[in-house]
Amino acid sequence: MLNMFEVNETNKMIEQELLDVRTITMGISLLDCCDSDLKAVNEKIYNKITTVAKNLVSVGKEIEKDFAIPIVNKRISVTPIAMVGAAACKTPDDFVTIAQTLDRAAKEVGVNFIGGYSALVSKGMTTADKNLICSIPKLWPVQTVSAVL
């Protein structure tokens, strides 16, 4: 049970020491979005994220209101995309379409960040991993390929 001292300490931390919750993150497995058809992969990814995370931001705002502590970022983390797109993505440009789908889904649900445009390469690199890594420079106007590889 909380006592007045703890309540006052918490208020002090919020008001004077600017206590906040830095981030809440929803993890979403996209393994069930795997398909050999790139269009189907993109549709499944978009539908899954926008369905599962549709209330993430509003729930975060409710938590902020209930506890009077700001939550700075609302984020989503997904399965490494090299795994999800492996069957459908034959070129780096194919992976770019998935990046665009992730961005569109993130904007739809209102999150600050969506993570998982990645590949697990610590024990070697598959063709899909290489294609994803090679797609990264295509995502931004200013890029340095050597920094990515």
Give the pLDDT confidence of 111-140 residue by residue, as tens digits: 999 999 999 999 999 999 999 999 999 987
Share of the chain above pLDDT 90, in %: 69
The pLDDT assigned to 143 comes to 40
Q: What's the alpha-carbon Rg for the chain, to the nearest Å?
A: 19
Q: Which residue has the higher pLDDT, 43 or 9?
A: 43
The phi, psi pair for 60, rounded to 5°, reads -60, -40
| Consecutive H or E run containing 71 | strand 71-78
Beta bridge partners of 26: 76
Enter the pTM of the model.
Answer: 0.81
For residue 29, give the 3-state DSSP assignment: coil
